Chain A
Amino acid sequence: MVFLTRRATFSASHYYWNDAWPAERNRQVFGRCANRNGHGHNYTLEVTVAGDPDPVTGFVVDLKWLKDVMEREVLSAYDHRHLNLETPEFATSIPTTENIAIAAWKRLVPAVTAAGGAELSRVRVYETPEIFAEYRGEP
C-alpha cells in the first residue's frame, strides 16, 4: 500500500464560541479566538489517500482528480468564507482545527470511496505552519 498526499490552501475566517456557555466562560476558554467579529487564517489542507499503484498507470489515484475533488468538496465551500456563518456544519459545531479536519473528511470520503481504488487515510489541516489537527476516520 502506498500513501499519496495532496496539499491545497484556503483562507477563511472563524471564531470560537459555545452558545451553551455564558460569555465569560467563552472568553476564559477560547481567549482571543472568542472575539465575535472573527479573525482569519491561511489554512493548508493535506489529504492522504492509500492504495496500491494501478499496474497500468502506476498511480494510486490521479493527482488531478484528487485536486478537483478537494476543490469541489472542500475549497469551494471554505475558501474566502466565514466558517461560522457560511458553512452548515459549523452552525452546530465550533470550527476548531480539529472539527475542520473532521468536517473536511466527511466532505471528501463519499467521492473518494465512490471512485474505488484508494481509500481516504488522513486529513490534516494546518491553521498556521505551527498548529495542525488531523483526522483518520476513527470513531
Chain B
Amino acid sequence: MRAYFGRRYTLSASHRLHSDALSAAENQAAYGKCNNPHGHGHNYILEVLAGGRVDPETGMVVNLAAMDEVVRERVLERFDHTNLNLDPLFTNRVPTTENLCKAVFEILEGSLEPAELVQVRVEETENNFFEYGGD
C-alpha cells in the first residue's frame, strides 16, 4: 500500500529580499521591510513529505533515521545559521521562501529511496508557509 511519511525540522537563517533586476525604489515597493540592506532572519520550519510503498517487513515508507541523516547533511548543515543570500543557489534568484522551498525540493529529490519526495513545505513564520511538489 502507498502511504506518506512526513517529518518537520527547524532551521534558522537570514535573508534579504532584493532583485538586481529592479531599481531601489522598485525593490522597496516590492519587498518593503524585507528589502532592508542588512537582512533579517527567521526560524523556518521545514516539512518533508515522502511517499511510497509501506515495506511489509518494517511497516515503514522510509526509515526515519535515514531521512534525518539525508536532510541534516544536505539541507540543515547547508542552510542553518547562514545568510541565504550568500549561498550559490541564490546568486541568481531571490531567497524568498518560495524559492527556498523549491531549492530544498531540488536538493532532496531522489535522495529518499525507496520512497519518493512528494512535497516540501517551508513555514517562514507561524502565519505563512509555502509548498512545492515539483510541479
The listed residue (A18, A93, A102) touching B3 by CB distance below 8 A is A102
Total residues of chain A contacting the partner, CB 8 A:
26
Determine the chain A residues whose CB is within 8 A of the CB of B64 once the complex forms: 131
Determine the chain B residues whose CB is within 8 A of the CB of A102 once the complex forms: 1, 3, 54
Determine the chain B residues whose CB is within 8 A of the CB of A139 once the complex forms: 1-2
Whose C-beta in chain B lies nearest to the C-beta of A97? B5
Determine the chain A residues whose CB is within 8 A of the CB of B101 once the complex forms: none
Question: Is residue A62 within 8 Å, beta carbon to beta carbon, of the partner chain?
Answer: no
Instruction: Please judge, given known A-B contacts A31-B65, A98-B54, A99-B54, whether A134 and B4 are in contact too, CB under 8 Å.
Output: yes
Question: Is residue B59 within 8 Å, beta carbon to beta carbon, of the partner chain?
Answer: yes
Determine the chain B residues whose CB is within 8 A of the CB of A43 once the complex forms: none
CB distance from B36 to the nearest CB of A (A): 32
Bound-state Cα–Cα, A106 to B56, Å: 17
Most chain B CB atoms below 10 A, which of A20, A94, A129, A133: A133
Q: Mark B5-24, 1 if CB is under 8 A from A, else 0.
A: 11111000000000000000
The listed residue (A96, A134, A138) touching B59 by CB distance below 8 A is A96
Q: Mark A97-139, 1 if CB is under 8 A from B, else 0.
A: 1110110000000000000000000000000011111111011
